[in-house]
Chain A
C-alpha cells in the first residue's frame, strides 16, 4: 500500500504536477503569449481536428469491423483478429515511416493519388490516416464484448415484432453499444491528440498547416524554451481533460438507463 503510493507519486504524480507548477510560475501574460500564440493555436487545431476526424472514421469502420468479427465466420479470421491489435504492438516510429512510404507522392499508394490532386502525406489528411491506424483497436476492442453480449434473441425479438433490419440497427443495436462506442471514441481521441511518433514522419510539420501540438512542444524544448513547452503542454492537457469530461458525461447519460 505504502509502496504503491510512493512509487506512483514518484514516477507519475510529482513529475506531472511540475508541469502545472511551472506553468503557474509563468504569469498570466507570458502564459497567454506562448500558450496561445497564433502558431500554437494552429497546432491545437491540427491536433484536435485530425484526432477528431480519425476517431469519427474509426467509430464507423471500427463498428463494422467489430460487427464482422463478432457475428461472421470466415477463413483467416484468427489472423485478422490478431492483426487488429497491431497498432498496440507496433512501435509508433515504425508505423510512421511505413505510412509515409505508402502515402508520399512517390509512395505505393501516393503515386496513384497524386495525379488525382489528392495529397495525403505532408498534409492533415496524412496525419488523420496515421491516427486512424493508431486508434482503430480502441474502438474495436471496446465495442466487441458488448456486441458479443447482445444476444441474437434481442434482435429476433425486434424482428418478430415487425421491425425492419434498419430499425433493428438504429433502435436496438446502436443504443446498446453506444456507451462502449463512446468509451472507445474517447480512448482513441485522447491517444490521437497526444500521438507523436507515427505522425511526425507523415505530417511534413509545416507550421500553421501540418504541425501538431506535441511536435511544437518538442520544437520549443529544442530551442531551450521550457516556458513555451510548458504552456503548450498545459493547454493541451486542459483541452483533453475537458473533452474527456464531456465524453464521460455523455457516456454516463447513455449508460445510466441500461445499467439502472
Chain B
C-alpha cells in the first residue's frame, strides 16, 4: 500500500501541490486525472522519487521512503516520451536496469538477454530485440519503455501520460492491451492522464485533481455519476451548466420553474449541471426547459442537438434518441431534465 501524507510542493511562488493525502491499494490501477498545471505529474514524480516534497511524507507498505532516491524505491517509471536510450538496441534498453546492478547482484549477460527476450514477448515485441528505438513505431516504443520498467521487477508501476504521444487508433488498442496486462500481472499501477475517457476506461479508481488539490477520489462510475464538485462535473464527461436561482425549495431558470430536487442548497444564485444524455422530450408542461434548436447531427444511436435556452447567449448540447425525427433548426423542444446536480456559484456541491 502506498500512503501519501499531507504532501505539499512549491516551485518558486507557484503552489504545485497543497496538502495531498492519498492511499493507493495493493494491486489497483489508479488514474491521476486533471488538466495541465493540476499537479498530477508532480505528484507522480514525488511517488517515484524523481521529485521531493517540501512537506509531508511518502510511505510504501508502512516504510517511510520520503528521502529515498528513485534508484532505491523499486518503482518502474514509464515516461511520457518513452525516454528510450537511442544508442542502445531494444534488448539492451530492456536489460539496462539489470546490467547496472552491483556486480554481486548482476545476472550474467546471457541471463539478462534471456530476461529481456522474455519481457519483449510479454509486450508482444518478440524478435525485435536487435532493433534500435529509431526503427520502431510510437506504439512499439511505448511497449519497449514498459518492458524496460518491468525488467527490474518493481513493486509499483508509474506511467506518465502513457498514451499522450500516440495517434487515436493506436491509443485505443494500447489502452485495452495495458488493461489486460494489468489484470494479468496484478502490479499496483498509477498513471497520469488529462484524458477523462482514458481514466474512466482504464482505472479502478480515479483521482481528479485541479490546482494542486484533489477534487474527488472514486470509481469511474462515482466520478461520472456523482461528481463531487462543479470542477469534476465539468472536467469529467460533457456537461451543460445553467445559471439558476434557488428559492424556497424551487429551482428557477429565467423565472421559469425547473422540476428538480434542490437538496440542501441555500437560497440564492446557483449552477445547474446536467449531462447531455440526462434529458428527455416532454410535452409542454410546467418544469420543462424550452430549447430552440440551432443544429443537430447523428452521433451513433442518438441525435446530438445544439440549441439555445433562455435567449441566444446560453448554448447547450443534448442527446435525443435517434427514434425521434431529426430536429430542425428553429424548432422548439420542451426538455425534462432527468438528472441534474446543483452547485453553489463557488463550485461546491449542494
Contacts and interface: CB of A to CB of B under 8 A. Distances in A.
- Do any CB atoms of chain A lie under 8 A from CB atoms of chain B in the complex? yes
Interface of A: 151, 153-154, 156-164, 167, 171-172, 175-176, 257-260
B87 A175 contact: yes
B148 interface: yes
Main secondary structure of the interface of A (DSSP, over half): helix
5 contacts: A157-B85, A160-B49, A160-B50, A161-B71, A176-B87
B110 interface: no
A162 B152 contact: yes
Nearest to B145: A157
Nearest to B45: A156
Interface residues of B, number: 29
Query: Interface centre among B83, B135, B152, by most A CB within 10 Å?
Result: B83
Given A156-B77, A157-B77, A158-B96, A257 B87 contact: yes
B101 A176 contact: no
B168 interface: no
Contact of B76 (A153, A160, A257, A258): A160
Contact of B81 (A153, A161, A172, A259): A153
Contacts of A154: 83-85
A153 B75 CA distance: 15
Given A164-B100, A257-B132, A158 B76 contact: no
Contact of B71 (A151, A162, A175): A162
A161 to B, nearest CB: 3
A164 B71 contact: yes
B134 A259 contact: yes
A260 B87 CA distance: 9
A171 B86 contact: no
A260 B151 CA distance: 25
B83 A157 contact: yes
Interface of B: 48-50, 69-71, 75-77, 79-81, 83-87, 96-97, 100-101, 132, 134-135, 145, 148-149, 151-152
A11 B145 CA distance: 54
Nearest to A175: B87
B83 A162 contact: no
Given A159-B71, A259-B134, A167 B77 contact: no
Contacts of B101: 162
Given A154-B84, A157-B145, A257-B86, 20 more contacts: A151-B83, A153-B80, A156-B50, A156-B77, A158-B96, A158-B100, A159-B50, A159-B69, A159-B70, A160-B49, A162-B71, A162-B101, A163-B100, A164-B71, A167-B100, A171-B100, A175-B87, A176-B86, A257-B87, A260-B135
A162 B100 CA distance: 7
Contact of A156 (B70, B76, B87, B96): B70
A245 B63 CA distance: 58
A258 B83 contact: no
